[in-house]
Amino acid sequence: METIKDTTDLLRFTTAGSVDDGKSTLIGRLLYDSKTIFEDQLEQVKEASNRKGLGHIDLSLLTDGLRSEREQGITIDVAYRYFATPKRKFIIADTPGHVQYTRNMVTGASTANLALILIDARKGILEQTSRHSFIASLLKIPHLIVCINKMDLVDYSKDSYDKIVESYKTFASKLEVQDIHFVPISALHGDNIVNRSEVMNWYQGSTLLNLLETVHIASDHNHVDCRMPIQYVIRPHSDEFHDYRGYAGRIAGGVFKPGDDIVVLPSGFESKIKSIDSFDGSISEAFAPMSVSITLEDDIDISRGDMIARPHNQPQNVQEIEVMLCWFDNAKLNPSGKFLLKHTSNDVRAVVKDIRYKLDINTLHRNEEDLEVNMNDIARVRLRLAKPVLVDTYSKNRITGSIILIDEGSNNAVAAGMIV
C-alpha cells in the first residue's frame, strides 16, 4: 500500500486486452501484490465469483465497473485504476482490446507515458498485439513494456521467450517507439510481476513492477519549445490588485522564466515575462505540465485561445491541417462534413477537404481505394479551418499537436486527430 512519502512522481500507463489474454489477471495481480485491493473489495469479488460458480477468485470482476460490463464479462469503456508503491504513483487506463473498441484504446493511450502490451507465450504475436502496438506508436506513447505472459504454460521456456522477443523486435522496427522492454511473466502465478520468478533463473532483467517504477519519464514532456495556450484571464478588479492581468494556462512545452522575451500569438506582439504567479507565491521556472498565471511587462490585449511562445521559436500559424484521424461516431465520416474543431483553448469551424487514405490498424497498410471512414477507422485527412490556428506536429508536442472534432448537432466528440 502507499506510504506517507509524498515526493513520488506519477506514471500514467495504458493496457489493452481482450477476454483471454490475462490482462485483468495481470492488473489484479499488480493491485493485489502492491496491496491496493481492500478486504471489502476482495470479499465482493469472492462472493460474485461464487455466485457465478467459479472455483477461483475472478480478479477481472474487480476491474469491470458497469453493470452491463459485468453481465457480459467484457470491458467496454476506459476504466481508470490507481496504485502506488513507495517509489511512484500509477494511473492505469484499462481499455478493451477488440478492434471495435479502437476508439477506447486511443482514448486511454492519449494521456499515457507508457503502454503495456501483453503477448500469450503460446500464441506469439497476434493481430491484436500489432494493433495495440500500432496504437501506442500512433499516439506517441514514449515507452513500451511487452509482457510475454502465461510462461507457465510453455514450461517457462527461454527458447519460446527468445523467439517471441526476436519476432517482436523485427515487427517493431516499423514503429516509432524508442524505448521498448521485454519481461517474461506469469500473471496467474505472479512470476516477475512484483516478485522475481524462481523458475526463470535465465531471465536477469527487471520485474515488471521494477520497470514501471524506474522508467525515466522526466523527459516525456517537451521542455524545449515554449508554448502556453491561454485558458483564462485573471482580472481581480480589487483595490489591492487593481491593474492585475494574469494570463492563466497550463504549460504545454518549454521552460518559462521571468525576464524571458515572449511573443503573443496570433497578434505577434512581443513583450517580456514580468512574473509567473501562483497562490503559493512567485515561480522562478515554469514547465509542462504546470498550471500557472503569467503577467507581462506590457499591456497587450490577450484572451482565451491566444498562445504565448518565444519570438524565435513559434508554432505554425495555419488554416489547413493534415491529421491522422480516429473516427468515433456510429455514422460514417461525411467526406465534406463540417465540424467544430477543438485545439488547445480554441474552438474553430472545420470542413473536411480530402481523405487521403485509410490505415489498416492491423498491418499499417495504406488503403487509397476504399475511403469510407467508419467507426474505429483511422484515416489521414486534410481539414480546412474557418480561421488560422497555432499548431505543432503531434510528434513535437502532444498538446499543441492534437485536436478533436465535435458534431454541432449532437455536441458529441466524433473524432480525435493527431496533426502530421
Partner 1 sequence: MNYNLDHLKELESEAIYILRETAAQFERPALLFSGGKDSIAVAHLARKAFYPAKFPFPLVHVDTGHNFPETIAFRDAIVVSLGANLIVASVQESIDKGRVREESGKNASRNALQTVTLLDTIEEYSFDACIGGARRDEDKARAKERFFSHRDDFGQWDPKNQRPELWNILNGKHNQGEHFRVFPISNWTEMDVWQYILKENLEIPTIYFSHQREVIYRDRSYLPISEFSNLREGEKSENKIVRFRTLGDITITGAIESEASTLEQIIEEVSSVRQTERGNRADDKRGDAAMEDRKKQGYF
According to CB under 8 A, which residues from 189 to 218 bind partner 1? 217-218
Q: Is 302 in the site for partner 1 (CB under 8 A)?
A: no
Q: Cβ of residue 120: shortest distance to partner 1, in angstroms?
A: 26
Tell me which of 58, 64, 377, 392 binds partner 1, using CB under 8 A: 64
If one asks whether residue 374 binds partner 1 (CB under 8 A), the answer comes out as no
CB of 382 to partner 1, least distance (A): 20
Q: Which of residues 157-196 bind partner 1 (CB under 8 A)?
A: none
Q: Nearer to partner 1 by C-beta: 218 or 369?
A: 218
Question: Which one of 18, 49, 57, 77 is in contact with partner 1 (CB under 8 A)?
Answer: 77
Nearer to partner 1, 347 or 368 (CB): 347
Cα three-residue angle 322-326-330, rounded to 5 degrees:
130
- Residue 340 touches partner 1, criterion: CB under 8 A: yes
CB atoms within 10 A of CB 68: 11
Pairing of strands 261-265, 269-278: antiparallel
Comparison of 4 and 173: residue with beta carbon closer to partner 1: 4
Task: Indicate whether 66 belongs to the interface with partner 1 (CB under 8 A).
Answer: yes
**How many residues belong to the site for partner 1 (CB under 8 A)?**
84
Check binding of 240 to partner 1 (CB under 8 A).
Answer: yes
- Please tell me whether residue 306 binds partner 1 under the rule CB under 8 A: no
What's the min distance (Å) between Cβ of 157 and partner 1? 37
Binding piece for partner 1, criterion CB under 8 A, among 126-134, 159-167, 193-201, 287-295: 287-295
Residue of the chain from 80, 100, 297, 301 that contacts partner 1 (CB under 8 A)? 80
Among 4, 53, 204, 370, binds partner 1 (CB under 8 A): 4
List 19, 48, 351, 375, residue binding partner 1 (CB under 8 A): 48
Query: Can residue 3 be called a binding residue for partner 1 (CB under 8 A)?
Result: yes
CA–CA separation, 33 vs 8, rounded Å? 19
Rg over alpha carbons for the chain, rounded to the nearest Å, is: 24
Tell me whether residue 83 or residue 203 sits nearer to partner 1 (CB atom). Answer: 83
Q: Identify the residue among 328, 358, 373, 390 touching partner 1 (CB under 8 A).
A: 328
CA atoms within 13 A on the CB side of 199: 13
Which CB sits closer to partner 1, 7 or 204? 7
| Residues 120-149, interacting with partner 1 (CB under 8 A) | none
| Residues from 83 through 112 that contact partner 1 (CB under 8 A) | 84, 88-89, 91, 103-104, 106-107, 110-111
- Give the residue with the Cβ less far from partner 1, 191 or 306: 306
Label each residue of the chain as H, E or C.
CCCCCCCCEEEEEEEEECCCCCHHHHHHHHHHHCCCCCHHHHHHHHHHHHHCCCCCCCCHHHHCCCHHHHHHCCCCCCEEEEEECCCEEEEEEEEECCHHHHHHHHHHHCCCCEEEEEEECCCCCCHHHHHHHHHHHHCCCCEEEEEEECHHHHCCCHHHHHHHHHHHHHHHCCCCCCEEEEEECECCCCECCCECCCCCCCCCCCCHHHHHHHCCCCCCCCCCCCEEECCEEECCCCCCCCCCCEEEEECCECEECCCCEEEEECCCEEEEEEEEEECCEECCCEECCCEEEEEECCCCCCCCCCEEEECCECCEEEEEEEEEEEECCCCCCCCCCEEEEEECCEEEEEEEEEEEEEECCCCCCEECCCCCCCCCCEEEEEEEEEEEEEECCCCCCCCCCEEEEECCCCCCEEEEEEEC
**Cα–Cα dist 48/27, whole Å:** 18
* Site membership for partner 1, residue 363 (CB under 8 A): no
Closest to partner 1 by CB, 6 or 198: 6
Decide if residue 243 touches partner 1 (CB under 8 A).
no
Could you say whether residue 342 binds partner 1 (CB under 8 A)?
Answer: yes
Which residue among 53, 56, 178, 237 contacts partner 1 (CB under 8 A)? 237
Q: How far is the CB of 305 from partner 1 (least distance, A)?
A: 10
Query: At its nearest, how many Å lie between partner 1 and the CB of residue 151?
Result: 30
